[in-house]
Amino acid sequence: MRIGIDIGGTHTDGVLIDGTRLVAAAKTPTNHDHLLESISQILHLILAGQDPTGISTLNLSTTLTTNAIITGTTDPVGMLVVGGPGIAPENYRIGNHFNLIPGSLDHLGTETARLDTDRLEQVITGCCDQGVKHFAVVAKFSPRNPIHENQMAEQLGNRADFVSTGHLISGQLNFGRRIHTAYYNSAVARSFRNFSTALTASLRGFALKAEVNILKADGGTMPLARALEAPVQSIFSGPAASVMGILATTPVSADVLMLDIGGTTTDIALFAAGQPLLEREGIAIDGHPTLVRAIHVESIGIGGDSLIYINDSNVQTGPQRLGPCLAKGGTAPTLMDALNVLGLANFGEVGQSRDGLETLAALHGRKGRQLAKEAVETAVNTISTKIEELIALVNSKPVYTIAEILEDREINPKKIIVIGGPAAVFKELLASRLGMEVKVPPLHGVANAIGAALTRSTSHLILTADTTKGKLSVPMLGIFRPIPRSFNLETAVEEAKTLLIADLEQAGISIPASEIQITQADTFNMVEGSYTSGKNIRVVAQVQPAVVARLDENAALVAIAARL
pLDDT digits (tens, 9 = 90+) for 178-214: 999 999 999 999 999 998 988 888 888 888 889 999 9
Given a contact cutoff of 8 angstroms between Cβ atoms, the answer to whether 449 and 421 are in contact is no
Q: What is the CATH number of domain 1-73+188-250+441-457+546-564?
A: 3.30.420
What kind and span of H or E run contains 117? helix 117-129
Please report which confidence band the pLDDT of residue 458 belongs to, taking 50, 70 and 90 as the band edges: confident
Are the C-beta atoms of residues 560 and 249 closer than 8 Å to each other?
no
Task: Round to whole Å and give the CA distance between 305 and 325.
Answer: 6
Whole-angstrom Cα distance, residue 115 to residue 84? 11
What are the pLDDT digits (tens) for 129-160? Answer: 999 999 999 999 999 899 999 999 999 999 99
- If pLDDT is split at 50, 70 and 90, which confidence band does 264 have? confident
**pLDDT at residue 325, rounded to an integer:** 94
CB-side exposure of 511: number of CA atoms within 13 Å?
Answer: 30
Average pLDDT, the chain: 90
Between CA 457 and CA 422 the distance in angstroms is: 30
Q: What is the pLDDT of residue 355?
A: 96
Alpha-carbon span 493 to 537, nearest angstrom: 10
- Percent of residues, the chain, with pLDDT higher than 90: 65
Residue 57 vs residue 408, higher pLDDT: 57
Determine the Cα–Cα distance for residues 390 and 272; give it in Å rounded to an integer.
13
Residue 460 has pLDDT above 80, yes or no: yes
Asked if residue 563 has pLDDT above 90, the reply is no
pLDDT (tens digit per residue) in 316-336? 999 988 889 999 999 999 999
Question: Is it the case that residue 161 has pLDDT exceeding 80?
Answer: yes
Position 555 pLDDT exceeds 70 = no
Return the minimum-mean-pLDDT range out of 199-208, 286-295, 409-418, 548-557.
548-557
pLDDT in tens, 341-378: 999 999 999 999 999 999 999 999 999 999 999 999 99
The residue type at 336: M
Q: Does residue 1 carry a pLDDT above 80?
A: yes
> In this structure, are residues 166 and 137 in contact, taking their beta carbons and an 8 Å threshold?
yes
Mean pLDDT of 468-477: 92
Helix, strand or coil, per DSSP, at residue 248: helix
3-state secondary structure of 275: strand
Whether 561 shows a pLDDT value over 60: the answer reads no
pLDDT in the model for residue 140: 94
342 and 422 Cβ atoms separated by less than 8 Å: no
Pairwise pLDDT comparison (406 vs 395), residue with the higher score = 395
* CA–CA distance, 484 with 319 (Å, rounded to integer): 59
Q: Does residue 338 register a pLDDT over 80?
A: yes
Of 16, 25, 9, give the one whose Cα is nearest residue 64: 9
Selection from 75, 44, 289 nearest residue 188 by Cα = 75
Q: What is the pLDDT of residues 419-444, one digit of tens each?
A: 988 888 999 999 999 999 999 998 89
Q: What fold does the segment set 252-440 form as a domain?
A: Nucleotidyltransferase; domain 5 (3.30.420)
Average pLDDT (289-310) is: 92
Residue 208: CB atoms within 10 A of its CB come to 18
Q: 85-125: per-residue pLDDT in tens? A: 888 899 999 999 999 999 999 988 889 999 999 999 999 99
Q: Are 289 and 177 in contact (CB under 8 A)?
A: yes
Q: Which residues pair with 416 in a beta bridge?
A: 257, 438
Q: How far apart are CA 75 and CA 194, in angstroms?
A: 13
pLDDT of residue 564: 57
Rounded to an integer, the average pLDDT of 446-463 is 92
Q: What is the pLDDT of residue 231?
A: 94
Which of the pair, 409 or 80, is modelled with greater confidence? 80
pLDDT of 560: 57
374, 379, 381, 387 alpha-carbon torsion, rounded to 10°: -170
DSSP per residue, 252-263: --S-EEEEEE-S
77 pLDDT higher than 50: yes
Average pLDDT over residues 242-261: 91
